[in-house]
């Protein structure tokens, strides 16, 4: 079985689930998971976890992301993007570039965002987009999100092209909608490219056909990111050979069980645990009150 993360370039028309299904066929294994959905019309970075790396799916879903989006002002749709049914069109004739820029930049920081009806969030066990397709609208609670940074790349009214870095759970479609509402003319998202998820950049992303070619050439490992590389800031510790099996069962570890037991980190510090052969085993955390390392997440691949 293959273990690691592949930076997939999701092409237009594919759902995130489509990407996982096709990758299962390409690599020949079932244990694969994606790290957060991208709308079918959106493109860009979609890290996909294979094998033991599926334990990282939640961690990567929680990471900050960066998008490049085009906001179309003057149009409101039921999906908050141009693929939806037009609900209203309003004039943008009186808009000035200065007013638009000030409004857009006013969304930087924390704000409460109401998730769109056309989303994969569940209400009473049913996805919102399923209810929306049935013509139903349900009340959604606003959720706190954070817009870390907005870089306005181009203003050619009624369009605004911008780069947005944001926290998990942020809907760029809804951001576009909210900007349009604040300007009084309405707005929706015309296009979306995800350019970054955590350390995964669009420049390094590979399409499914490219991945299939690499697999066929027997060099898939060239783009496979090892699990432990997702924790570059975590100190590295090595368990002694006689205690390796003990560690692989997730037992607490005392400093004497490590090759460098004299180096003690600060309380609550998470570390990468390896065996003496250099194989990554797990993430552990130092507990000062116990004077022990305790298991956080196991990854060993035996």
Answer yes or no: do 86 and 181 share one domain.
yes
pLDDT tens per residue, range 216-255: 899 999 999 999 998 988 999 999 999 999 999 999 999 9
Answer yes or no: do 108 and 213 share one domain.
no
Cα–Cα–Cα angle for 28, 2, 61, nearest 5°? 100
Contacts of residue 269, defined as CB under 8 A and 6 or more positions apart, other chains included, come to 235, 285, 286
Domain presence at residue 18: yes
Domain presence at residue 240: yes
Answer yes or no: do 206 and 118 share one domain.
no
Kindly give the pairing relationship between strand 236-238 and strand 75-77. unpaired
The residue out of 125, 158, 189 marking a domain boundary is 189
Answer yes or no: do 70 and 168 share one domain.
yes
Domain presence at residue 155: yes
Domain presence at residue 194: no
Concatenated DSSP letters for 143-167? EEEEEEEEEEEEEETTEEEEEEEE-
Domain presence at residue 221: yes
In contact, 198 and 60? CB cutoff 8 Å: yes
Answer yes or no: do 223 and 271 share one domain.
no
> What's the number of domains the chain is made of?
3
The residue out of 189, 218, 240 marking a domain boundary is 189
In contact, 227 and 274? CB cutoff 8 Å: no
Answer yes or no: do 126 and 78 share one domain.
yes
Instruction: State how far the Cα of 41 lies from the Cα of 12, in Å rounded to an integer.
Output: 5
Query: Residue 23 sits in a domain of what CATH number?
Result: 3.30.2350.10
Instruction: Name the residue range of residue 97's domain.
Output: 65-189
- Here the tokens at position 241 are 């050979």
Residues annotated as part of the active site: 39
pLDDT tens per residue, range 24-34: 999 999 999 88
Answer yes or no: do 214 and 157 share one domain.
no
Answer yes or no: do 59 and 203 share one domain.
yes
What mean pLDDT comes out for the span 93-114?
A: 95
Domain presence at residue 166: yes
Cα–Cα–Cα angle for 258, 51, 296, nearest 5°? 40
- pLDDT band for position 260 (cuts 50, 70, 90): confident
**Which pLDDT does position 5 carry in this prediction?**
93
Answer yes or no: do 143 and 170 share one domain.
yes
- pLDDT band for position 141 (cuts 50, 70, 90): confident
**Which pLDDT does position 49 carry in this prediction?**
92
Domain presence at residue 242: yes
Query: Residue 245 sits in a domain of what CATH number?
Result: 2.30.130.10
Domain presence at residue 162: yes
| 119, pLDDT greater than 70 | no
Residue 52: count other Cβ atoms within 10 Å of its Cβ. 19
């Amino acid at each position: 079985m293959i273990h690691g993360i592949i930076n997939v370039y999701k092409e237009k028309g594919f759902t995130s689930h489509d990407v996982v299904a096709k990758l299962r066929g390409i690599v020949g294994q079932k244990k694969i998971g994606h790290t957060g959905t991208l709308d079918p019309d959106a493109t860009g970075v979609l890290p996909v976890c294979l094998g033991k790396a599926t334990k990282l799916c939640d961690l990567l879903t929680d990471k900050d992301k960066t998008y490049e989006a085009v906001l179309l002002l003057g149009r409101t749709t039921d999906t908050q993007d141009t693929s939806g049914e037009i609900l209203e069109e309003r004039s943008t004739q009186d808009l000035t570039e200065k007013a638009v820029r000030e409004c857009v930049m006013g969304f930087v920081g924390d704000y409460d965002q109401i998730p769109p009806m056309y989303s994969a969030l569940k209400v009473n066990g049913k996805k919102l987009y399923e209810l929306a397709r049935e013509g139903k609208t349900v009340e959604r609670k606003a959720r706190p999100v954070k817009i870390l940074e907005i870089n306005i790349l181009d203003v050619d009214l009624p369009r605004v092209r911008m780069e947005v870095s944001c926290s998990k759970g942020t809907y760029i479609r809804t951001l576009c909608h909210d900007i349009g509402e604040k300007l009084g003319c309405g707005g929706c998202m015309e296009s979306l490219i995800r350019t970054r998820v955590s350390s995964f950049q669009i420049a390094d992303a590979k399409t499914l056909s490219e991945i299939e070619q690499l697999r066929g050439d027997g060099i898939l490992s060239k783009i496979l990111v090892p699990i432990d590389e997702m924790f570059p800031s975590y100190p590295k510790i090595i368990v002694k050979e006689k205690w390796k099996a003990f560690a692989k069962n997730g037992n607490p570890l005392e400093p004497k069980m490590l090759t460098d037991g004299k180096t003690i980190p600060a309380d609550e510090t998470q570390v990468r645990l390896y065996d003496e052969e250099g194989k990554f085993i797990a993430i552990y955390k130092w507990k000062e009150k116990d004077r022990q390392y305790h298991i956080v997440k196991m990854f060993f691949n035996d």
